[in-house]
Amino acid sequence: MNYFPVFLDLRDADLLFVGGTEDILAKLRLALKTKARLTVVADEAEDEIRALAQAGRLNWMPRFFEPDDLKQKRMVYIATGSPVADSIVSRFAREAGLLVNVVDDPANSNTITAAMVDRDPLVIAIGTEGAAPVLARRLKAELEERLSPRLGRLVAAAAKLRARVSHDLPSNIRRSLWDRFFSPKGEAAELAGEAAIEAHFNALLAGVDAPRQGRVILVGAGPGDPELLTLKARKALHEADVILHDRLVDPRILELARREARMVEVGKTSGKESSWKQSEIEALMIEEARGGATVIRLKSGDPMVFGRADEEIAALEAAAIPVDVIPGITAAVAASAALKQSLTRRGRNSSFTLLTARDMQSFAEYDWHSLSAKGSVFAIYMGVEACAFVQGRLLAHGAAPDTPVSIVENVSRTHQVICTGTLDGLSQLVHRAGIHGPAIIFIGLAKTASASLPQLSQGVA
């Protein structure tokens, strides 16, 4: 981010506009919505600029720019029609320490005016750092269509009503109140006028003294790509007060949470004493929820697939904490999509098995005879370290050495790796491909015939 978005208080500020062009007129139309004092310096000016000056809306000085024009100014817009003149004025203004915008010339500017959706006092600014103004205008048009022209009235009412909300209230309760105030019911009240808005607020305020019931939501973060997150999961992230997340949750997904949410990484790493114990995670969820917080237990993939969700749900229900589950795309499903191969296919397999190698004792007790049968297809989660064991067990129970295997590491992420081969070379394939991160190992899933996925025997794609 090269430009940090801010909103300037322009009450009683002096703004300078150098040039009398159409570009300057466009900036003036925005600035006229503020309470700033506007001065235009230009030997010639558009008729509308002249008319605004005659009406007393701005001060037009019909002459060329002089460096003294910059004195006492807060910000300068420049569009003389001459790139050379624009550059000279910009240099003077930046040396004077002013905010400078040369229209359509980011290189000579230190400030960019965003595309704005104006529902005063609600203002939404959209910027592309000068790279794609057409895109910014398209997004502005889409927001203009979605937001009621009267939405500003609801925001203005909130400004008057805020003083009635006690700062002694916990922040999560205040936030919940305002969330409900700006809900569809609030927008409906806005249509009916100020009295309806105040009645809506009074009804909400009357209920804030009731003890707030905390809750826990087990949320599936999916395999990694934020675009694979469900809409319901995204909404939950915006509502969370506390987010307890696994180590493997993609940082881009955490960025989608509201800024005030408290993040706690509760990842469990095999063999590390600093890892969180399951009992500690459950105790923290209960503690936070009893304090009235909305707690998101954010798990990579789907919480109901090797996510110990049953244990957490049982602990929460025993503590009388409300709990919900929002599923996510589990890694095996995302990995099969990356391979462009169905997990089940007529004539090949009518069932599909998910295994985990996390618990090696239980892993050793699987029905390896059935898994080794022709037509068996299964996926192993967390199986990289156990690949040699898997290979040996399957071959010992009669699996064909040329049984296809596919491995997808960091599925759906920018550094995703796909490698394919056969069962008799599984452990060598993992070693040669350098697979270390979270990976799904498919046994019995044939190589794709798609030309978009390179076919490298015992290799990496």
Q: How far apart are CA 441 and CA 93, in angstroms?
A: 61
Number of helices (H), then strands (E), belonging to the chain: the values are: 17, 18
Burial 300-321 (b: 16+ CB within 10 A, else e): bbbbbbbbbbeebbebbeebeb
Q: How many CA atoms lie within 13 A of 12 on its CB side?
A: 0
In the sheet that holds 323-326, the strands lie side by side as: 262-265, 242-245, 294-299, 215-220, 323-326
268: annotated active-site residue: yes
Which pair of tokens denotes residue 194?
A: 């100020």
Long-range contacts of 431-435, Cβ-Cβ distance < 8 Å, separation of 24 or more: 432/458, 432/459, 432/460, 433/407, 433/409, 433/459, 433/460, 435/384, 435/407, 435/409
Identify the bridge partners of residue 78 per DSSP, sorted by sequence position: 18, 102
297: phi then psi, degrees, rounded to nearest 5: -95, 100
- Note the helical H segments in 15-70: 22-31, 47-54
Q: Give me the count of residues in the chain.
A: 461
* Residue reference for tokens 């009406």: 55
424: annotated active-site residue: no
Please report the beta strands in 266-396, taking only residues with DSSP state E, as ranges in sequence order: 294-299, 323-326, 353-356, 378-381
159: phi then psi, degrees, rounded to nearest 5: -60, -35
- Peptide bond between residue 438 and the one before it cis (omega within 30 degrees of 0): no
Q: How far apart are CA 47 and CA 412, in angstroms?
A: 56
Which pair of tokens denotes residue 271?
A: 């063999």
Which residue type occupies 220? G
C-beta atoms surrounding 132 within 10 Å: 12
Identify the bridge partners of residue 356 per DSSP, sorted by sequence position: 381
Nearest to 83 by CA among 59, 104, 54, 113: 104
User: What secondary structure letter does DSSP report for 345?
Assistant: B
Q: How many CA atoms lie within 13 A of 265 on its CB side?
A: 11
Question: Which residue in 69, 86, 246, 302 is the catalytic one?
Answer: 246
Residues known to be catalytic: 246, 268
